[in-house]
Amino acid sequence: MNRNGPVALLCHSLFVVFMLAPLIVVMWMSLTPSNLLSLPTTSFSLRWFKAILANPQFVSAFWMSIVLGVVAATCAMALAVPAALALARHNFAGREALVGLFLSPLIIPHVVLGVAFLRFFTQVNITGSTAGLLASHVLIIFPYGLRLVLAALTAADPAIERAAISLGASSWTVFRRVVFPLMIPGVAGGWVISFIQSFDEVTMTVFVATPSSMTLPVKMYHYIEESIDPLVASVSTVVILLTFLLMLLVDRIYGLDRMLVGKG
d(CA 106, CA 194): 12
> Which CATH superfamily includes the segment(s) 54-260?
MetI-like (1.10.3720.10)
In this structure, are residues 218 and 61 in contact, taking their beta carbons and an 8 Å threshold? yes
Query: What is the number of other CB atoms lying within 10 angstroms of the CB of residue 28?
Result: 15
- Which pLDDT score, from 0 to 100, does residue 2 have? 56
- Which pLDDT score, from 0 to 100, does residue 137 have? 93
- Which pLDDT score, from 0 to 100, does residue 225 have? 81
If phi over 0 gives left and psi between -120 and 50 gives alpha, with beta otherwise, what is residue 43?
beta
d(CA 89, CA 172): 15
- Which pLDDT score, from 0 to 100, does residue 4 have? 67
> Is 0.85 surpassed by the pTM of this model?
no
- Which pLDDT score, from 0 to 100, does residue 264 have? 47
Q: How many residues does the chain have?
A: 264
- Which pLDDT score, from 0 to 100, does residue 33 have? 86
Which residues in the chain show pLDDT less than 50?
A: 1, 264
d(CA 81, CA 153): 10
- Domains in the chain: boundaries: 54-260
Closest listed residue to residue 71, CA positions, set 239, 252, 215: 215
- Which pLDDT score, from 0 to 100, does residue 73 have? 93
Residue type, 162: R
For the purposes of burial, counting CB atoms within 10 Å of the CB of 45, is it exposed (0-12), middle (13-18) or buried (19 or more)? Answer: middle
In angstroms, the Cα distances linking 127 to 120, 122, 136, 200 are: 8, 5, 12, 21
- Which pLDDT score, from 0 to 100, does residue 259 have? 56
- Which pLDDT score, from 0 to 100, does residue 136 have? 92
Closest listed residue to residue 66, CA positions, set 257, 255, 206, 242: 242
Closest listed residue to residue 130, CA positions, set 58, 199, 203, 68: 68
- Which pLDDT score, from 0 to 100, does residue 1 have? 45
d(CA 45, CA 191): 36
